[in-house]
Chain A
Amino acid sequence: MKALWTVPEKIIVRQFYLQNTGLFLVILLLGFGFLSSNEHIALATYALHDGFFLAGYVALWLLYTLYTIRFNSQVIQTTDLLQFFRLIPAAKRLLIFYLLNLQLLAPVLLYAGFMLWVGTQQHTVSANGILVLVIGSLSVLPLPFIERALQKPNPEHVSSRLGSWLRHHLTTPYGFFFIRYLFREQPITLFLTKTGSCLLTIGIILLYPTDDYDIRLLSLGILLSAAFHAGVVFELYQFEATHLLLLRNLPVSLFRRWLLYGGIIALLMSPEMLLLLYRRPEAVSTLNIAGVWLLGFSILLLEFTALLTRHQSRDRFMATLFWPIIAYFLLIMYRLPAWGLAFAGLTIATMLFIRNFYRSTWESEEE
């Protein structure tokens, strides 16, 4: 059994969590960055007593399950090695995939387990029953899809007429390569990052006029937005190192490369810029708003140049951001102006880029 287990576990489960680290990071930031444990218990209690609210939870879990099914099916259909599973008796095969799938559903199972714990404390028998039924159903839901994927490997992809027309008539400028990559390969990470960051920006803008706040509130908001983007910045670093190796062979000056990275990051941060400009609190000048946005922009560039300075795995990179974020928090609270922090950040990022771009490398051994 172990021999049959190791390969799919590495190919499916580990890859799923590795490829979606950014997504889970954003979920953790959204779910546990703002809400305390008491608030989670309050939300779970409300859901256990309100069918409509509980249905919202179930809908989210179903979405996540469908996402795992999509990943699972794609991997099975495109990894020829997994076709060996067709030689294994059906019952054994289903058991293996059922257990593998439980690992993919771990976040849902853990949260549902937490809700069941709350429900047991509060004796919500019918809601508990529904939870068990839902989790049971979600755990077996992927099996027919997995079987179908095994029976139909390497499907032929038919591109849409529009896609085909666009490919024949338009070409993507380099500055948009990464944006296209995000939309195509990391849509959930992109969606959650941008949704979280934009909701935060809107929230801060709405909060601003309700009390005697100053520009520091907006600066703290953009600092948190920049922290949300860390996963996407890592994606940029990884994308160029693993898919666009030839980029470093191209005769492009450091200055132009710097401008291109600045352009890509400005594009990523453009929704926040539009929100800040068009929903700007009346008491804050456009110049100050521009300084706040530039602060966020400079932090993203610093995150990117930190990766060029020293290669780090995604987990380590996320962990090393903690203290710099705390340092920024203190600098903002000590009333250092956003413009000043932005220029200091841009200067340091530029120096790091000039010094380290050609010295940097994705640490994987080659022949």
Chain B
Amino acid sequence: MLTVRNFRKAYQDRLVLDISRADFPAGVHWIKGRNGSGKTTFFRSVAGLLPFGGNLILENRYDLRKHPVEYRLRVNYGEAEPIYPAFLTAWELIRWVGATKQAPLGQADELIDRFGIRDFMKAPLGTYSSGMLKKTSLVLAFLGNPTLILLDEPLITLDQATTRTVLDSIRQSRQQGISFLLSTHQDVDPVDLPIDFTWMVGQQTLAPFPQPADQ
């Protein structure tokens, strides 16, 4: 589903990640790693937010460099700690992102109700709590027809009911053929969320991690 080749990312000459080769099959991938290990950098690079060296290819067809629009149409990203312009409303962001991601008719409304943001979505984002911002970012992450959704710490700041909604959404989307890269420091019950593959980010690289249950 996602092919990584000769991936290198440095900040001001300080190497953060060097992944010579990684192949992500379709499914749910749990990316583990300590704080500061480079998980968010990897997610942001895969989402097309950060420049990097090497190649990222989706479905063996869409190279992020050669097909920037087609690739981005199929890769969505939910940030760990989303920051949005305080004067905009969630509704304005959802309409804008939905239009560019070619969201099907009615999808935005369905996601708004699923994540429970209808009551406050027309208030300025600057008035939101961190949980409300997180819910907004999750709605944005599921918009359109993605092949891959990157969710950086999707469960933090959420109440129990919304946590359940997120896990259900991931499970349902997986059944529909959508893949996920997740990073979370929280333990997830395999019954709630079946993880297909686990990876470890550390020592400036990314490697498969064979026994997710042991970690």
Bound together, the chains give a CA A366 to CA B16 distance in angstroms of: 10
A159 within 8 Å of B (CB atoms)? yes
CB contact under 8 A between A242 and B83, given known A172-B92, A250-B97: yes
A180 to B83 alpha-carbon distance, docked (Å): 17
CB distance from A6 to the nearest CB of B (A): 25
What residues of chain A lie closer than 8 Å to B100, measured between beta carbons?
A: 250-252
Interface residues in B129-154 (C-beta closer than 8 Å to A): 140
In this assembly, does A167 line the interface, its C-beta being within 8 Å of a C-beta of chain B?
A: yes
Say if the beta carbon of A254 comes within 8 Å of chain B.
yes
Q: Which residues of B contact A184 (CB under 8 A)?
A: 86-87
- Chain B contacts for A365, CB-based, 8 A: 11-12, 14
Say whether A249 contacts B35, CB under 8 Å: no
Docked pose: A160 CA to B68 CA in angstroms:
42
- Does A359 count as interface, using CB distance less than 8 angstroms? yes
Q: Which of B54-99 contact A (CB under 8 A)?
A: 65, 68-73, 75-77, 79, 83-89, 91-92, 95-97
Residue B27 lies at the interface, judged by CB distance under 8 Å to chain A: no
Q: Are B51 and A171 in contact (CB under 8 A)?
A: no
Interface residue B124 (Cβ < 8 Å from any Cβ of A): yes
Nearest CB of chain B from residue A29's CB, rounded to whole Å: 28
A-chain residues with CB within 8 Å of residue B49 when the two chains form the complex: 245-246, 248-249
| Contact present for B101 and A159 (CB under 8 Å) | no
Q: Interface readout for A349-367 with B: 1 if CB under 8 Å, 0 if not?
A: 0000000001111010111
Inter-chain CA distance A249–B68, complex, in Å, is 9
A residues less than 8 Å from B101 (CB atoms): 250-251
**Residues of chain B within 8 A of A366, CB atoms compared:** 11, 40-41, 44
What distance in Å separates the Cβ of A367 from its nearest Cβ neighbour in chain B? 4
Closest residue of B by beta carbon distance from A156? B127
Find chain B residues with CB under 8 A from A167 CB. 89, 91, 122-124
Residues in A with CB closer than 8 Å to B71 are: 251
The answer, yes or no, to whether A322 is at the interface (CB within 8 Å) is: no
Q: Report chain A residues within 8 Å CB of B47.
A: 248-249
Cβ contact within 8 Å between B50 and A361: yes
B8 interfacial by beta-carbon distance below 8 Å: no
By the criterion CB–CB under 8 Å, are A243 and B85 in contact?
yes
From residue 247 to 262 of chain A, which have CB atoms closer than 8 A to chain B? Answer: 248-254
A180-233, CB < 8 A from B = 180-181, 184-185
- Give chain B nearest CB distance to A316 CB in angstroms: 14
A111 to chain B, nearest CB (A): 33
B149 shortest CB reach to chain A, Å: 11
Q: List residues of chain B with CB within 8 A of the CB of A185.
A: 86-87
A251 to B100, CA, bound (A): 6
**Does B36 make an interface contact (CB < 8 A)?**
yes
- Is the CB–CB distance between B127 and A157 below 8 Å? yes
23 contacts between A and B (CB under 8 A): A157-B127, A159-B124, A167-B122, A167-B123, A171-B96, A177-B88, A181-B87, A239-B85, A243-B84, A243-B85, A246-B97, A249-B47, A249-B48, A249-B72, A250-B97, A250-B100, A251-B68, A252-B69, A358-B48, A365-B12, A366-B40, A367-B35, A367-B36
A interface, CB within 8 angstroms of B: 157, 159, 167-168, 171-172, 174, 177, 180-181, 184-185, 239, 242-246, 248-254, 358-361, 363, 365-367
Q: Give 8 closest A-B pairs by Cβ, nearest first.
A: A251-B73, A367-B40, A251-B72, A250-B100, A359-B51, A251-B69, A171-B92, A248-B49
